[in-house]
């Protein structure tokens, strides 16, 4: 696919940016569009996944058919089957008449299922049947109906982790993931960030009839280094805030800083490597990474205590001073004057019996004073993620006065997921 063709698609669908990962995602979407293959779009929330579903529909033979976008996380678990597949009159309380579902209404078109990872297991089984055979059954009916619908799904979570956790069907995952498209996060798109900012600032200026905001070089640098956990949606909000609140239309980094929350500028995950995440860290959220780092540090400290105790009690005295000398940099902040001398290791950390081996005269130590075992107890903290998750849920509920909607937002999960967790941890009465 040529560069001109990709640029043409960008102009048609209002996509701004030239990041290689973005161009590649557009190319894949355009190539798969003429087929009927199922597509799974992955990317962080707010990165623009729905735009790619529209590209696929508009460039496909189904472009004259209906296109419906559905957020699976926003539909209550008890009604999602009815919404997707329809129901018969009297099939449940409140079903006063028969109703067609989205798969019946969009026959010959395309359905975009956003947040597919939030779909209940029972609904997943029904969806798999549609994908395999094009068949579905209305709620409360026994009649099998046929539909010809193309499914494009999207998720901002790692579905393989959901598969391993037993909350997502493995067969459905592989059926959906026929053609994967990865939408890059905004922070991975470099200069695209400022291009998008200028577009949003220009739109806001036109809407509010004011002069567009411009940024000085130091402000542009600060903007492009910001993490943008809310991606394009967050950048648009920032551009509109500045356009409305700032009287000066040219901003330096000092004027821009208040609009970039400091708690969101941390690049903590980058400590684990500047490149792509490896298999050990893929799929972790920042909170998971923090727990992992803290647990690893606690385990290392426990091992260090045991090693020092073994050396101090004389089990390996000849190795003690050399080991401490080699690792003296670890004790710099523990020395009385703030600077630790390697040669003074035994003075700070070894008991009398261990120090004795450092004396040139061996005749003074014919009778070695026995060293009493130093009792130590390592207080083990539970490493159970379930326990930690339960504690985090309780803290979030307490913080928001048991308002579950805001607690779910603070935890970074959907409200329905929070209800499921409350039931799982027997916290429904909280």
Spell out the domain ranges in the chain. Answer: 3-184, 188-264, 296-365, 385-424
Answer whether residue 265 shows pLDDT above 80: no
Answer whether residue 271 shows pLDDT above 60: no
CATH architecture of 385-424: Orthogonal Bundle (1.10)
More confident residue, 285 or 123: 123
Mean pLDDT of the chain: 80
Rounded-to-integer distance, Cα 108 and Cα 67, Å: 9
Superfamily of domain 3-184: P-loop containing nucleotide triphosphate hydrolases (3.40.50.300)
Q: Are 24 and 1 in contact (CB under 8 A)?
A: no
Q: Could you report the per-residue pLDDT of 399-426, keeping only the tens digit for each? A: 888 888 888 888 888 888 888 888 888 8
For position 312, what pLDDT does the model report? 63
Q: What is the mean pLDDT of residues 288-297?
A: 69
Answer whether residue 41 shows pLDDT above 80: yes
Q: Could you report the per-residue pLDDT of 149-185, keeping only the tens digit for each? A: 999 999 999 999 999 999 999 999 999 999 999 999 9
Q: What is the mean pLDDT of residues 265-292?
A: 49
For position 197, what pLDDT does the model report? 95
| Domain 188-264 indexed as CATH 3.40.50.970 | no
Q: Which of 71, 167, 144, 143 is nearest to 112 (CA)?
A: 71
Distances (CA, A) of 249 to 144, 174, 201, 243, 311: 62, 51, 10, 8, 66
Rounded-to-integer distance, Cα 304 and Cα 34, Å: 61
Distances (CA, A) of 153 to 50, 156, 362: 9, 11, 77
Rounded-to-integer distance, Cα 17 and Cα 183, Å: 12
For position 393, what pLDDT does the model report? 87
């Amino acid at each position: 696919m040529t560069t001109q063709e990709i640029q043409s698609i960008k102009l048609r669908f209002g996509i701004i940016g030239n990041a290689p990962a973005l161009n590649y995602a557009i190319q894949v979407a355009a190539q798969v569009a003429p087929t009927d293959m199922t597509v799974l779009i992955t990317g962080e929330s707010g990165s623009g996944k729905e735009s790619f579903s529209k590209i696929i529909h508009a460039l496909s033979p189904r472009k004259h058919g209906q296109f419906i976008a559905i957020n699976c996380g926003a539909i209550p678990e008890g009604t999602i089957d009815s919404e997707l597949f329809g129901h018969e009159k009297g099939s449940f309380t409140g079903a006063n008449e028969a109703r067609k579902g989205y798969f019946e209404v969009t026959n010959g078109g395309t359905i975009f299922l956003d947040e597919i990872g939030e779909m209940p297991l029972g609904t997943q089984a029904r969806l798999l049947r549609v994908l395999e055979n094009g068949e579905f059954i209305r709620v409360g009916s026994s009649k099998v109906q046929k539909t010809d619908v193309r499914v494009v799904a999207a998720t901002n979570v790692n579905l393989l982790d959901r598969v391993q956790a037993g909350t997502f069907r493995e067969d459905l995952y592989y059926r959906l993931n026929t053609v994967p498209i990865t939408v890059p996060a905004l922070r991975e798109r470099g200069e695209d960030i400022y291009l998008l900012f200028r577009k949003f600032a220009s739109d806001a200026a036109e809407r509010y009839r004011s002069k567009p905001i411009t940024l000085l070089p130091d402000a542009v640098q600060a903007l492009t280094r910001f993490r943008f956990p809310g991606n394009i949606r967050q950048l648009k909000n920032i551009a509109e805030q500045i356009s409305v609140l700032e009287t000066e239309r040219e901003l330096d980094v000092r004027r821009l800083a208040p609009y970039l929350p400091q708690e969101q500028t941390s690049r903590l995950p980058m400590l684990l490597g500047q490149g792509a995440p490896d298999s050990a860290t893929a799929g972790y959220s920042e909170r998971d990474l923090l727990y992992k780092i803290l647990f690893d540090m606690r385990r290392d400290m426990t091992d260090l205590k045991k090693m020092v105790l073994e050396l101090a009690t004389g089990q390996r005295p000849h190795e003690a001073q050399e080991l401490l000398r080699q690792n003296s940099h670890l004790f710099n902040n523990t020395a009385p004057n703030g600077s630790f001398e390697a040669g003074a290791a035994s003075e700070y950390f070894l008991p009398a019996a261990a120090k004795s081996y450092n004396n040139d005269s061996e005749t003074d130590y014919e009778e070695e004073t026995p060293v009493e075992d130093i009792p130590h107890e390592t207080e083990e903290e539970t490493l159970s993620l379930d326990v930690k998750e339960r504690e985090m849920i309780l803290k979030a509920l307490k913080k928001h006065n048991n308002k579950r909607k805001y607690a779910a937002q603070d935890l970074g999960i959907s409200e329905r997921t929070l209800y499921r967790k409350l039931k799982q941890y027997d916290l429904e009465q909280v």
